[in-house]
Structure formats: C-alpha cells, structure tokens
Structure 1
Amino acid sequence: MTFSVILNNKYGSRTVKQLLEEDLLIPRKIRHFLRTKKHVLVNGRAVNWQSLVKEDDRIQLTFDEEDYPPKDIPFGQANLVEPLYQDQHIIIVNKPEGMKTHGNEPNELALLNHVSAYVGQTCYVVHRLDMETSGAVLFAKNPFILPILNRLLEEKKIWREYWAIVDGRLTAKHVIFRDKIGRDRHDRRKRVVDKRHGQSATTIVDSLKLFPQASLVKCRLETGRTHQIRVHLSYHGHAIIGDPLYSKCPAARLMLHAHCLSLTHPLTRQKITVEAKSQSFEQVLNLAKKENKKEKTNSK
C-alpha cells in the first residue's frame, strides 16, 4: 500500500531532518527510505536533509508498503460506529458500553474492527476504554501519525474528562486522589490500592451534583492505570454505581462515561474538542434527578 501525507508545516523554521525526526517522530529506517527514494517534497520540489522548511511550507511525504507493512484485521460493522470527529489522519468515535475497544483474539470483533470498516482501512488504537465504559475514543487512521499521538498521550496533551455516578454524597467539591495502584493478587481481573508496590496514579475529581444517595462527579486523569477511576473512587468509599468488580450498587451498566476529549491536532494545530452522549447514562442520571426533586418536595 502506497499512501501520501500532505501537510502545511506548523512547526516553524527547521531543517527537513529535524522536522521528520523530532517533530513527526518518523523512525530512522523509514527516514532512510524517504531520503533514498526522494519521497519528501517541499512545495512540490525534492529537497536534501539539511534544507530549511518554513512555517506553512507544503510538505508531501510518500510511503511505500515496505515503510509501513500492512496490518490486516477483519472488518466489523460500519453501522455500529458513531463518529464525533474525523479528518485525513484521525477519527474520534463514541463507544457504546458493553463493547471492547479492541479484541484479545485475532478474529474477535471489537470497536477497532467496526471503526476500520467505517473508514475503509485498518485503523490503530491510541487509547482504550474498559468494555463497560462508554464515550469518546481516539483512533489513528494511518501508522504515520500513531507515534505522534502516542507521544501526545504520554505528555498528557490529550485531555479526557469522565462523568461517573457514584455511591454516596461527596463531602468535598474538589479532591485529588494519588493512591498507588497495583494488581489484586487474589483476582486477576481487579486492581487495588497498593501503597508499597503499586504504580503512581493521580485522579482529579470534582463534584457536579449531589443526590439523596449518590453523586455525579467529573474525573480527569493525570495517569492512565487500568481501572484507575474505578479503583480510586471505590477505595475512598464512593464506588461507581453498576461497577461489576468494585461496587455493590447494581445498575443496568457501569455508570462511567468518557464525556469529553480534547487535543491540539499535531499536524494542523487545530484545537479539537468533542463531547460524547450516552442515552443509557443519561437515563439513569435523569432518574436520579427526579428522585432528588421528590426528596426536596417531601422535605418541605
């Protein structure tokens, strides 16, 4: 598969070598192919590695199959995809609860397979959500941009906001949990707070609305540990309602939803912010609001 990437340089004045190596994170082997095949054009002309590119210069990169060997996966069902944003390089979709982000077996169909069917080519997972969690998920449309997005994720430049309905009423309007998280030695599915051997984890929690026996909270992650929000909230006495692993409060689903995702596009420098909706999450939230109104009416 041969594909070309055309972009307007938004990185400022630098050499072609710096642009490809430091900004676009293109691996050394692929940079070698680009140079020897003269597959780098600046404003339509071939250039050498020390040529300077200026802001808004038009850069064209052409990749062959040997640069990025094709990764074939089975296509799923395109009609299961709810796109929130897409362009030549990325797509953000709204994942329903009960669907894996990616399969564990070669032929297992998951959101990745459905997104690839929707786009018409193999896509790549940038970050994942637990199967029980709904909301915004980011995918790369080509292998070229994947390491750039991975770096943004590592540098905490992809901003995600989660909504959760939790057991009990939070006493604090704003709290930061920094408990270390490790594996549960007795249940491989679970994670626990492990202050001695766990990995560092930071979750920022803000209370949005209080109900008689529950709270709607907003969570932001400074780290990305498995089950991080679920473990932190449960450990501090506010397990997410409907959590099959960490809560005793039943519900039709885990009441955790990736409500908002925001990033600055690494190639265009465009600010992208999307909000994802979940009908099942909002149904439970509306029910809680009605119960709250009844409580206030009865107390008068």
Structure 2
Amino acid sequence: MELSIQLPQHFKEQTVRELLEQEWLVPRKVRHFLRTRKNVSINGETALFHFPVKSGDVITLQFEPEDYPTPKILLGNNSNVDVLFEDEQLIILNKPIGMKTHPNQPDEQDTLLNHLAAYLAPKNQTPYVVHRLDKETSGAILFAKNPFVLPILGRLLESKQIYRRYQAIVSGHLNESLTIRKRIGRDRHDRRKRVVDERRGDIAVTHVDIASYAKKTNQTTLYCILETGRTHQIRVHLASIGYPIIGDPLYHPKPSGRLMLHAYELHLIHPFSKEQIKVITEHSLW
C-alpha cells in the first residue's frame, strides 16, 4: 500500500518523526519499518526521520502487507451502498433501516460493512469501522478506507471533533430543550439492553433540541446531538426521562413501526486536507 498526502496550508513545520508519531498516529512497529526500509519520501526524495516537513510538501509512505494485515470480510452486494461523501481516505454512507453496521460472526455477509467491502473491492480497498449505528437506526455513518487513517478518525471521534446530529420522534410532549447527563451501563438482566447506571456506567451526554410537537398524536420531534457515543445512548437517555422513541423495540412500552431515529447530519474536519466535510442526508423523519 502506498499513500501520498500533501500537507495543507498553515501546517506547522515539524520533523518526519513528529508527523508520523503525533499527527498521524502511526504505530511504533510500523514507524520502525518505515525508517529501516527508508519508505518515506518528501516531494519524491527519500527522507530520514529528522528531516523537516512543511505546508505544501507531498509525503509518500510505502507500506508492506505485514505492516497492516488486511482483515477478511465477506463481500456483500454493492447495490446496497448509498454514498454521501467519498475520497481516497474515508467514506460516509447512508445506512438503511434494519441493517447491521458490521458482522458479529465471521460467516455474516449481509451487513453494511460487507456491502461496502464489495463496493471497494474493485479499487483494492478495504473498509474499517469508525463508529456504528444500531440496526434499527438509519442515516449517516463514517468508515475509513484504509488502516492508516483509522486511528486518526478514532481520535477525532474520542475528542468530540466529529459532529453528529440525529432526528428522533418521541411519545409525549417535551416542551423545552435540555442536556441529559446520565451514565449508561449494561442491563444485567437483558444483554440486549443498556440502562442508566450512575455507579458503574460510562459517562454519556446527549443534547436535545425541540423541533415541533403534534398534539393530535402527542408526539414531539427532536434533534439530538451526541457528545459521547455509548451504545443505545439516545434511546436510553430519552426513555429515562419519560420520552421513549416511537417504534423502539427495547425501550418503548408499546413499540409499533420503525424506530424513529435517524442520523441526519455528520460534520468533521478532514484529517489531512483540513477541509470541512459536512454531510446532511436527503431523507429525514419529517
């Protein structure tokens, strides 16, 4: 695998070592091989690790197959792939309702990851999961197209630099915007579920904005912004304050129809070009 990346404007001058270790999070073992094989070049010239890099420089990295072993993913059907954004490093898809993000068993091949693998196979690229959406949730989801960019996108996610806004429709009249700060942990009685667990749960923060209220159906439409990304976070948080999402098979006392939760919007700053990527799905819940 060979990658060539041009450093963006206003890039802080630093050494090749600093770039690989601190900016691009290249694992120590891989950095060692890049150095000993002399597989780093700047503007076409072989570079040592103490060489400086600056804005406009083109950094080329040559990896061997053992540096990043390719995971085995069964190929699905590329017609199930709805691309919202794509470049050489990452891809954002519109996930349909009722489809799992990734396999849980090695013989599965009807998940979004399988279908994306089929889409990328002609390009000799392999997808990697950055974050996931529940099977019942639709909307924008981000994947890496190579293992090199995966930890960088993971860092952006952990440091809250990837903005995700969801649409939801809940039962009841929620009449004010609020922030829900409740720790979430596993339900000891049902392995499928999560619960609010202030003692042992993980920190979870969801910002909720009101869009509208329908008196006839007694339903409120909401926008939810994730500050953290716990499993079932929006679903558990809204149910915990008495406003379960319509159609939720796990947390609504009387579920009917589809889960009314949709990943409507996703923003991030591209890890290499530093350009803003802003994706809004064409389809929405209202």
The TM tier, using the shorter chain, reads over 0.9
Q: Give the distance between the partners of 1:191 and 1:47, measured in 2 at CA.
A: 50
Identify the match of residue 8 of structure 1 among 6, 9, 30.
Answer: 6
The answer to whether the 8 A contact 1:135-1:277 is kept is no
Partner SS state of residue 112, structure 1: helix
- Residues 130-188 of structure 1, C-alpha deviations (whole Å, 9 max, x = no match): 0000000100000010011111111111110000001111121x200001111112111
- Residues 14-41 of structure 1, C-alpha deviations (whole Å, 9 max, x = no match): 0010001100100111111111111111
1:291 maps to which residue? none
Moved more, 248-257 or 86-95: 248-257
Residue 194 (str. 1) matches residue 194 (str. 2): no
1:215 maps to which residue? 220
Residues matched between the structures, number: 278
Identify the match of residue 241 of structure 1 among 237, 246, 254.
Answer: 246
Residue 171 (str. 1) matches residue 169 (str. 2): no
Q: Give the distance between the partners of 1:200 and 1:69, measured in 2 at CA.
A: 33
Identify the match of residue 149 of structure 2 among 145, 149, 155.
Answer: 145
1:68 maps to which residue? 68
Larger radius of gyration: 1
The answer to whether the 8 A contact 1:241-1:254 is kept is yes
RMSD between aligned residues: 1.1
Amino acid at match of 2:185: G
Deviation, structure 1 residue 249: 4.1
Residue 38 (str. 1) matches residue 30 (str. 2): no
Amino acid at match of 1:97: I
TM-score using structure 1 length: 0.90
- Residues 250-287 of structure 1, C-alpha deviations (whole Å, 9 max, x = no match): 33210000000100000111100111244xx64xx4xx
Residue 111 (str. 1) matches residue 112 (str. 2): yes
Partner SS state of residue 160, structure 1: strand
Deviation, structure 1 residue 12: 2.1
Q: Percent identity?
A: 53
What are the ranges of 5 or more consecutive residues in structure 2 without an aligned counterpart? none
Moved over 4 A (4+): none
Amino acid at match of 2:59: I
Identify the match of residue 136 of structure 2 among 109, 116, 132.
Answer: 132
Q: Give the distance between the partners of 1:70 and 1:188, measured in 2 at CA.
A: 31
Residue 273 (str. 1) matches residue 271 (str. 2): no
- Residues 31-88 of structure 1, C-alpha deviations (whole Å, 9 max, x = no match): 1111111111101101111111111111111111011112221111000000000000
Partner SS state of residue 131, structure 2: coil
Partner SS state of residue 231, structure 1: helix
Residue 88 (str. 1) matches residue 88 (str. 2): yes
More helix by share: 1
Q: Give the distance between the partners of 2:209 and 2:254, measured in 1 at CA.
A: 21
Moved more, 72-81 or 241-250: 241-250
1:161 maps to which residue? 165
TM-score using structure 2 length: 0.95
Q: Give the distance between the partners of 1:195 and 1:53, measured in 2 at CA.
A: 47
